[in-house]
Structure 1
Amino acid sequence: MTDPTDLAALAGARVLITGGAGLIGTALRSTLARAGATVRLLDNLSAYESATLALLGTGPLDPDLTVGDSADGDLVRALVADADYVVHAAAHSTVQGCANDPATAFRSNLAATDTVLRAVADTPQVRRLVLLSTAQVYGNGDPGADPGRPRVFTEDAPVRPLNLYASAKTWAEFHTRQLLAPAGREFTVLRPFSVYGPGQVPKPGAPSWVIAQFSMYAALGQQLPLNNGGRQVRDFLYLDDAAHGIAHSLLAPGAAGQTLNLGTGVTTSVRQVAELVCWHYPAAEIVDTPRPAQDPLGARADTTRMCQALSWRPAVSVDQGLTRYVDWIKRTPEAIPHWLRAETTEGRIAAWNPAAPARA
């Protein structure tokens, strides 16, 4: 699709990205910098070890980075006061991480979002805020849907979050509208589907980053565990495409006030991912394992509204993107974290399916 929304219009613009030291934040920084924008990152650097931050091209000495908490009102107000656009990507962003540490999840996903939104509401020169939500707000979709048909999530579908992380993002979407619309501030809510790409390093207890995980498991000669036989499906969005979609959402007139899926519209099963990885690593072994209770069955995005609002569509297919990721792993074997090297299939299954707490 020809893209009439010229990112060159961002030249000279000041963009603040909260959670900016993460995978999406650093990729977005690069996209915006190529367009001529001045980018400021805010991050408390709690999500990754220093080695992973270095792989992402950031760290405490990054001149574009302010190390701090997005729930710090004074700090956030000072940074927002110097911004034309704000992308709120900060979050405690794994399902298991939120379940294990709900207090941190509350501060990062609820208190920080409220802090950022109030600062934007009070700052007239901010042209637009983009909130990064998640496709997990859809849960498993309509429980009455035909299980034999591929699921497709449209933005008007009811939200049915299955976990604390998705619940917090659902609240953030409503809170964005409730605070910014009355203040006359433009906003766009994006629901990214499964983002992946070079630089992505799995986190412990997160079963859903399957392209990164399976590629690293195979590189180590470990088994590829297919939860639920790999019947879950995902809409895999390559990292560069995700960054371009977010950048376009800052400018596109049709995105103002909209909630938009951010995906490819292509359904890929987890088993297909495993088979693609095995093409690159023929010795890799696939094993069937139980599905974690809070792991969504998945679906693809309906991208009709996204394409219309942004006049843009993703360009990288799953096989192309996975090949780029595998090439990155082969060039950067030190990206594979030590804890992952030491894990076993049995340990992973136990971590993804914890026993219910004993009743008193």
Structure 2
Amino acid sequence: MNTGTKTVLVTGADGFIGSHLVEALIRHNYNVKAFVYYNSFSSWGWLDHIPEHLKKELEVFAGDIRDPYGVKEAMKGCDIVLHLAALIAIPYSYHSPETYIDTNIKGTLNIVQAARELEVEKVIHTSTSEVYGTALTVPISEEHPLQGQSPYSASKIGADQIAMSFYRSFGTPVSIVRPFNTYGPRQSARAIIPTVITQIANGVRELKLGSLHPTRDFSYIDDTVEGFIHAMLEEKSVGEVVNLGTGYEISIKETVELIARIMDKQVAITTDTQRLRPEKSEVERLCSDNRKARNLLGWSPNYGDRDGLIRGLTRTIEWFTASENLSLYKHERYNI
């Protein structure tokens, strides 16, 4: 893929998905500007861990997505914006919901307002399968009702609507991609797959977990990244919302058992009450209808179905169990 001299800004570039996306874009010959969250440690998050030869190709802008002036400054000279910056931890949204409104909704407003003023070619806004809430119909298409079952999901619904309102009101070229449960190397330990892997890898055989019965549609990071790139390149994606998921549904309990089997360990599970969501807030079932992504974007998952999940989990386990990576995680603590 040769893309010439397009300059792409990635917000949330210091995070899990963002850092992988930055790597892929550099390899596809884009000029990449990484918007990272300013901190006094000069940390670029996960970008500190990408290969040095890729890091040298990167322009980094440290700022705060909540600051409209900094956002606009970062976007100057950029052709395309991939907007991933967000607060995403559901438990923390119970604790501090106002920060989710400021970061997710107002941050998105800052992006689309600057895109309008600077006449950016395209904005890809990142949504989440959590906006659907517990599935009313399966598989979940883009037409499924939106249900805010946590302050996090409500803030993302608001962000999605702000983004799409600028397309409808001002013709701002916005596309929305809606990933389902992405997993892989560098994911936060607040998520179920890293939680299980890091506990087992550190010798824990009685795992502390939350609800086991909900089902999820787990998408490997490489597939999610390719979905972003397909959406970015496809002109017909403007004004559209597109799911990125496998369509393969599995329970949390089955996922834990699968991880333990791949790691060749016998484990027991205990319920840690602090990891349980409030009853009406728990999303019981998620399973993607990805036909729109296939038809509109020409995208399909390489890690779909059970075999794909096993391959993706195996690669994820290999990364997490490397000592230099495992040491970065506090397996004994519950991360909200």
Contact 1:155–1:259 (8 Å) recurs in 2 = yes
TM-score (norm 2): 0.88
Corresponding residue to 1:227 among 204, 210, 220: 210
Q: Which runs of 5+ in 1 are unaligned?
A: 1-6, 146-150, 353-360
Structure 2 partner of 1:292: 277
Output the amino acid matched with 1:190. V
Tell me whether 1:12 sits opposite 2:25 in the alignment: no
Q: 1:211-226, aligned counterparts within 5 Å?
A: 211-222=193-204, 223-225=206-208
Structure 2 partner of 1:264: 246
1:306-330 deviation per Cα after TM superposition (whole angstroms, max 9, x unaligned): 1111111110211001000111122
Aligned length: 322
Alignment partners' CA distance in 1, 2:284 and 2:148:
12
Q: Which runs of 5+ in 2 are unaligned?
A: none
Cα deviation, residue 58, structure 1: 9.1
Root-mean-square deviation (CA), in Å?
A: 2.5
Q: Which runs of 4+ in 1 moved over 4 A?
A: 48-52
Corresponding residue to 2:223 among 227, 233, 241: 241
Output the amino acid matched with 1:327. E
Contact 2:217–2:288 (8 Å) recurs in 1 = yes
Cα deviation, residue 82, structure 1: 1.1
Alignment partners' CA distance in 1, 2:96 and 2:208:
26
Structure 1 partner of 2:122: 128
Structure 2 partner of 1:65: 60
Structure 2 partner of 1:3: none
Structure 2 partner of 1:319: 310
Tell me whether 1:175 sits opposite 2:162 in the alignment: yes
Going from structure 1 to structure 2, the CA distance change for 1:331 and 1:45 (only over 3 Å counts) comes to farther
Contact 1:224–1:284 (8 Å) recurs in 2 = no
Corresponding residue to 1:275 among 246, 253, 257: 257
Alignment partners' CA distance in 2, 1:274 and 1:136:
21
Output the amino acid matched with 1:329. F
Contact 2:129–2:179 (8 Å) recurs in 1 = yes
Report the identity percentage: 24
Output the amino acid matched with 2:126. L
Output the amino acid matched with 2:72. R
Tell me whether 1:162 sits opposite 2:149 in the alignment: yes
Alignment partners' CA distance in 1, 2:294 and 2:300:
6
Contact 1:254–1:308 (8 Å) recurs in 2 = no
1:278-305 deviation per Cα after TM superposition (whole angstroms, max 9, x unaligned): 1133334132526422331132100011
Alignment partners' CA distance in 2, 1:32 and 1:264:
22
